[in-house]
Amino acid sequence: MADPIVMPSRLVRARGAWGTGFWAAFIGTGIVLAAVVPALNLWVPPGSAIAVPDYIVPLLGKYLCYAILALSLDLIWGYAGILSLGQAAFFALGGYAMGMYLMRQIGTRGVYQNPILPDFMVFLQYKELPWFWYGFDHFAWAVLMVLLVPGVLAFVFGWLAFRSRVSGVYLSIITQAMTYALLLAFFRNDMGFGGNNGLTDYKDILGWDVHAPSTRLGLYLVSVLGLGIAYLICRYVTKSKLGRVLLALRDAESRVRFLGYSVTNAKLFVFTLSAVLAGFAGALYVPQVGIINPSEFSPGNSIEVAIWVSVGGRGTLVGAVIGAVLVNFGKSWLTGAFPEVWLFVLGMLFILTTLIFPRGIVGLFRQLRRPSPQQPKTLPVEEQA
Amino acid sequence: MVSRLARLLALALLLVLTALPARADDYSTQITALGSDSFADKDKAITALGNLGDARAVPVLQAMSDDRLRTGANGQVLIVSPTDSTKLIDALTGQPAEGVAFGDTSRVIVNNRLRGSIEGALGGLTLFSPDRDTRLAAARDALRHPSAESLARLQKAIATESDGEVRAAVQKSLYAAQLAGGSKEEQLKAVASLADDTDPRVKSLLDEFAATPNLDPEVRKATDAAIASINQRLQLIGILANLFQGLSLGSILLLAAIGLAITFGVMGVINMAHGEMIMIGAYVAYVVQQLFRAYLPPGLIDGYLIVAVPVAFLFAGLLGVILERCLIRFLYGRALETLLATWGVSLVMQQAVRSVFGSPNKEVSNPSWMTGGFDPLGGFTMTWNRIYIIVFCFVVLGVLALILNHTRFGLYMRAVTQNRDMARAMGIRTARVDALTFGLGSGIAGMAGVALSQIGNVSPNLGQIYIVDSFLVVVFGGVGNLMGTLIGALSLGIINKVLEPFAGAILGKIVVLVAIILFIQRRPRGLFALKGRTAET
């Protein structure tokens, strides 16, 4: 890729990636996220300035899901230079798989009280459950599908694309075409996924009421855990030998190929992994927001993920998390307070981060803390998209 | 000799003189009979009036159906004026009836059976209405319910009809009636004549006719042949209609994609704000239209489109140059970041337009010379706006080809597309070429917006509708190559429209998207990839 953002000093010290310092910071952050919010929610009297009201909990959980999604994009874009504009599609596929499980849990409590068919199917005069809905009454099957469906799609798509060396903006555009095709497909009523309205009106998950504050707190904690696991996986991959191959192919793909590495396999692995992570994030997201519909597939959503990563700092995992949370917090606040300003802000974020702060918040912070004059400005630019 | 002529003339005069009162008498008899007490007599009179084909009976029957018909003491039939319920009109003469007191009259009782007869009679009578459009509607209506009874009426109508279009419609209905109640010769002639028609109603009519039992074998054979020939024609028209619609969609895609293709070709960047340039062009058309409406005499309004095209080109082109100078040149060589930054620009532009013009759709009307259409084969209409857009698109393409191939700037553009570094080494100011290329591409997008404003609504997210498709056109056709874009756009447009009848609009589109994704695997650089060393990088 033509726009390398590489920190050679960090590469050299990669061996220290799993040192005590890292674990302390990681576990510390985890405890803060997992303990402070529940404590403020449960034990601080409502109305107090630091209390976390019930409705905030799923909102925070949603940000954490977005953070996992941002991690998944950072893994392929920040490290391997693959700007997938289909990340939100994998996210939505995972979400749909979870939504299907939640729909099956409604049972006879739906409007039409059909024990097998979800309401929308009764409404659309389905006689029986479509075959791809089988098994979704079991949570384990749903979880398997959450990981498998985006993973298999990404594997097939990636295998076709990387094998023929589709890269750069071409890849971005065909991932966008894929997302668009899925968007259109899920809008169709006869696809059996609820069409325009998507899947909603969930009642409970694993027996707990999804609307109950305690369940929401539980889902939040699961999201913290999920983010932690996703972070560790991404860190493991990026700090491994494979991670360095990825960095190398991002900056000089042909050279890596000439050196004998299989670029196709490396890209395919990381692309599939990233899709699985995105699907996982989507599955956590759906019970917390209570709905999944085809608009999650819209191409704009996928591009927005890229801006979270950019704002936080591309090529740094912490950056992806910080960016996702900050941008979405800003979005929640601005769309509430000044709705017409939000698109201006988002648009300017896109422009400014690419133009002025390509390293994002984390990069800026590192520069301030440790200005390194020797840091090379760019690596040799030999390949352009 | 002279006396013979005189005798003939006298005879003719006598005939005319006797015929006129006879007809008039018949009419007045039937009108008077409407006032009779027996339902059967009234019914007979209604039917007779219907068959007489005298347009004067229309208001009378209408009034009867509306319970506004009354009889006077001496059997005079009177109509209550529809506008003023105290005024009475003589049904025979149509003049206000003076000296008849409302209290002296009694209502003509009508039941539902009579109303049915009145409706039938009126349907036939409107064939003789003085209003052309009413006659046309009646003639077309007669095709829907062909019957042997209407035969005489239709024959009379065709004898007196002077308007060509109405006459044709009456003739068609007459053939239909002949199928139902004509002699064998008439049926054969009707079948043969109807076989040339592609009206779907005619086809269902013939289908019905072929299904009637005890049909004469000769007539049946002719009917089957006629149905086969109609089916063939319908199929052909279906194909042509698909082709036309595909061509229309393809030319729109081409207009939307061509600017994208040249900027992508020359600079290697994807301009996500390209769709918004299209949107801006459409708003320019809207603004120019409003200015024309506000400040120029109404007679000039048709000219607004002529003015809007260059204005949109200049305005969008200027925006493009500004965008390139202020943003894109700083991101040179970072294609993916350009993609994101221009996406940001597109969001800002959408929101800006929404703030200025509001989110509701704006309406841009077609100039009079672009409204309507014509029907070359019968069965589908080619609208003028789509035809003009196709023509416009090819004019733009032609001019662009001339610029690329026969101007110095075009030469520079081609050189930079092929090998940027070498072009710079040869003294081409690539920065300037970049800015101008971007301006040119955006300007064409602006003109595309003007074209799109003619076939749909103008809204802030107009550009988003076409952006994914135009990217696909570019990657499908290959970059830096007008021919590739042309073939890419037209084939995508036509494939989309040809698939539509089989698969439905959305499924067809999904199929096309998947096909393109698969196609890219085979030809990662599109249909018409640039060849040579530089193209490999």
* Residue range B293-327, pLDDT digits in tens: 999 888 888 889 999 999 999 999 999 999 999 99
Residue of B nearest to A166 (CA): B524
Confidence of residue B21 (pLDDT cuts 50, 70, 90): very low
pLDDT (tens digit, 9 = 90+) per residue, B98-124? Answer: 777 777 788 888 888 888 788 777 777
Extract the runs of DSSP E, i.e. beta strands, from B289-433. Answer: 373-374, 382-383
How high is the ipTM of this complex?
Answer: 0.85
d(CA B418, CA B430) in angstroms, rounded, equals 12
d(CA A345, CA A281) in angstroms, rounded, equals 25
d(CA B460, CA B280) in angstroms, rounded, equals 9
pLDDT (tens digit, 9 = 90+) per residue, B32-91? Answer: 888 888 888 888 888 887 777 777 777 888 888 888 888 887 778 888 887 777 788 887
Pick from A198, A180, A186, A195: which is nearest to A292 by CA? A198
Chain A, window 177-216: residues with a beta carbon less than 8 angstroms from a chain B beta carbon:
177-178, 180-181, 184-185, 187-188
Tell the residue number behind the tokens 């009109």, with chain if given.
B89
Cβ contact A3–B336 (<8 Å): yes
Residue B423, both tokens: 């072009």
d(CA A201, CA A102) in angstroms, rounded, equals 9
Report the b/e string of B479-517 with b at 16+ CB within 10 A. Answer: bbbbebbbbbbbbbbbbbbbbbeeeeeebbbbbbbeebb
Residues 6+ apart with CB under 8 A from B506: A184, A185, A187, A188
pLDDT score for B312: 96
Q: Which letter does DSSP use for residue B458 in this model?
A: B
Q: Which helix (H) or strand (E) holds B530?
A: none
pLDDT score for B283: 96
d(CA A307, CA A314) in angstroms, rounded, equals 9
Cβ contact B506–A384 (<8 Å): no
Query: Which CA distances in Å does B113 have to B44, B116, B313?
Result: 12, 5, 67
Pick from B467, B416, B409, B471: which is nearest to B440 by CA? B409
pLDDT (tens digit, 9 = 90+) per residue, B515-527? Answer: 888 888 888 777 7
Cβ contact B516–A177 (<8 Å): yes
Phi, psi of A262 (to 5 degrees): -85, 100
pLDDT score for B325: 93
Cβ contact B340–A350 (<8 Å): yes
Cβ contact B521–A381 (<8 Å): no
**Amino acid occupying residue A129:** L
Q: Is the dihedral of CA A74, A76, A77, A79 positive or negative?
A: positive
pLDDT (tens digit, 9 = 90+) per residue, B445-478? Answer: 999 999 999 988 899 988 888 888 888 888 888 7
Chain A, window 275-304: residues with a beta carbon less than 8 angstroms from a chain B beta carbon:
299-300, 303
Which residues of chain A are within 8 Å of residue B339 when distances are taken between CB atoms?
83, 169, 172
- Is the pLDDT score of B19 beyond 60? no
Q: Which helix (H) or strand (E) holds B79?
A: strand B77-80
Cβ contact A351–B344 (<8 Å): yes
pTM of the model: 0.77
Confidence of residue B4 (pLDDT cuts 50, 70, 90): low
User: In which region does residue B89 sit, left (phi positive, over 0), alpha (psi from -120 to 50) or beta (all else)?
Assistant: beta
d(CA A95, CA A352) in angstroms, rounded, equals 32
Mutual orientation of helices B335-357 and B462-477 as an angle, nearest 10°?
A: 150
Residue A161, both tokens: 């694309």
**Amino acid occupying residue B498:** V
Which residues of chain A are within 8 Å of residue B472 when distances are taken between CB atoms?
173, 177
Rg (CA), chain A: 21
Closest partner residue to B333 (CB to CB) among A2, A348, A354 is A2
Residue B300, both tokens: 């000039």
Q: What is the residue-level pLDDT of chain A in tens, covering all 385 positions?
A: 444 444 444 544 445 678 888 899 999 999 999 988 888 888 888 777 788 888 889 999 999 999 999 999 999 999 999 999 999 999 999 999 999 999 998 888 888 888 888 888 888 888 888 999 999 989 999 999 999 999 999 999 999 999 888 888 888 988 998 999 999 999 988 888 988 889 988 988 888 888 888 999 999 999 999 999 999 999 999 999 999 999 999 988 989 999 999 999 999 999 999 999 999 999 999 999 999 999 999 888 999 999 999 999 998 999 999 999 999 999 999 988 888 888 899 999 989 988 888 888 998 888 888 765 544 444 444 343 3
Q: How many CA atoms lie within 13 A of A25 on its CB side?
A: 8
pLDDT score for A41: 85
Chain A, window 304-343: residues with a beta carbon less than 8 angstroms from a chain B beta carbon:
306-307, 310, 340, 343
Which residues of chain A are within 8 Å of residue B517 when distances are taken between CB atoms?
157, 160, 174, 177-178, 181
d(CA A229, CA B124) in angstroms, rounded, equals 82
A contact test, residue of B520, B530, B533 with most A CBs within 10 A:
B520
- Is the pLDDT score of B342 beyond 70? yes
Domains within chain B, CATH numbers bracketed: 2-128 (no CATH), 237-536 (1.10.3470)
Which residues of chain A are within 8 Å of residue B270 when distances are taken between CB atoms?
169, 172-173
Residue of B nearest to A182 (CA): B510
Confidence of residue B240 (pLDDT cuts 50, 70, 90): confident
pLDDT score for A309: 94
Which residues of chain A are within 8 Å of residue B333 when distances are taken between CB atoms?
2-3, 381, 384
pLDDT score for A375: 47
Residue B311's CB is within 10 A of a number of other CB atoms, namely: 19
- Is the pLDDT score of B7 beyond 70? no
pLDDT score for A383: 40
Cβ contact B468–A180 (<8 Å): yes
pLDDT score for A16: 60
Percent of chain B residues topping a pLDDT of 70: 92
d(CA A320, CA B48) in angstroms, rounded, equals 88
pLDDT (tens digit, 9 = 90+) per residue, B151-205? Answer: 777 777 777 777 778 888 888 888 877 777 777 777 888 888 777 776 777 777 7
Query: pLDDT higher for B425 or B30?
Result: B425
d(CA A180, CA A173) in angstroms, rounded, equals 10
Residue A257's CB is within 10 A of a number of other CB atoms, namely: 14
Residues 6+ apart with CB under 8 A from A97: A136, A142, A145, A146, A149, A279, A283
Residue of A nearest to B346 (CA): A347
Tell the residue number behind the tokens 């979880």, with chain if given.
A143
pLDDT (tens digit, 9 = 90+) per residue, A55-67? Answer: 889 999 999 999 9
Closest partner residue to A347 (CB to CB) among B345, B464, B509 is B345
Which residues of chain B are within 8 Å of residue A314 when distances are taken between CB atoms?
none
The β-bridge relationship of strands A199-200 and A291-292 is antiparallel
Pick from B132, B130, B128, B119: which is nearest to B154 by CA? B128
d(CA B302, CA B369) in angstroms, rounded, equals 8
Closest partner residue to A355 (CB to CB) among B327, B521, B522 is B327
- Is the pLDDT score of B402 beyond 70? yes
pLDDT score for B98: 74
Angle, alpha carbons A134-A135-A136 (nearest 5°): 95
B contact test, residue of A174, A264, A304, A327 with most B CBs within 10 A:
A174
The β-bridge relationship of strands B88-90 and B77-80 is antiparallel
Domain boundaries, chain A: 8-369
The pLDDT mean for chain B works out to: 82
Q: Is A1 on the interface with B (CB under 8 A)?
A: yes
